[in-house]
Amino acid sequence: MSVTVRMILDEKGRNVVTLGPTVTLGEAAATLHQNKIGAVVVVGMENRIVGIFTERDLASAIGRMGAQALELPVSKFMTANVHRCNEDSTVNELMELMSSKRFRHVPVESDSKLIGIISIGDVVKQRIREVEMEAEHIKAYIAG
Ligand code: AMP
């Protein structure tokens, strides 16, 4: 049985930290820091996803423009073309997506509404659990 996004969200919760597109880069950085997270989803009307902003975007904004970037809107630095998944997506599909596209966060949608977010940390945690269970099964098989 493959582990689904629904199973991960049932365990970790469905809360997602979001921001509007007009908040400044400095406010977005403070939001990442205060929540101890690496990404925020940028939402517009009715909680629709309009972008994703991560610590990588923060580093490249500062690297490119210096401190003056902090006063500019986050919409200028976010990625607007967001890859999403749904609750039926599997952990294997997410691993494939994250490694081929080289990002570490995937928002979860249902009926075009944001209902969760999966990070590479969630995927790794789940994968370790699966490998441990497989090892236990093999040990039990050999012993029995
Ligand atoms: P990350 O590895 O998640 O910090 O993201 C690396 C880069 O990919 C940043 O420019 C992000 O804005 C972008 N990014 C992160 N997650 C996604 C996603 N689900 N869809 C599209 N771009 C993303």
Q: What is the CATH number of the domain that holds 116?
A: 3.10.580.10
Hey, what are 42's tokens? 């940028």
AA identity, residue 64: R
Domain membership of residue 32 as a residue range: 5-143
User: How high is the pLDDT of residue 46?
Assistant: 85
Question: How many domains does the chain fold into?
Answer: 1
pLDDT in tens, 59-117: 999 999 999 999 999 999 999 999 999 999 999 999 999 999 999 999 999 998 999 99
Report whether pLDDT(47) > 90.
no
Ligand 1 binding pocket includes 37 (Cβ within 6 Å): no
Q: How far is the CA of 144 from the centre of ligand 1 (A)?
A: 46
Collect all residues with Cβ–Cβ distance below 8 Å to 6 and sequence separation of at least 6.
Answer: 87, 88
Report whether pLDDT(1) > 70.
no
Proportion of the chain above pLDDT 70, given as a percent: 99
Q: How far is the CA of 10 from the centre of ligand 1 (A)?
A: 24
User: How high is the pLDDT of residue 63?
Assistant: 98
What does the alpha-carbon distance between residue 72 and residue 66 come to, in Å, rounded to a whole number?
A: 11
pTM score, two decimals? Answer: 0.92
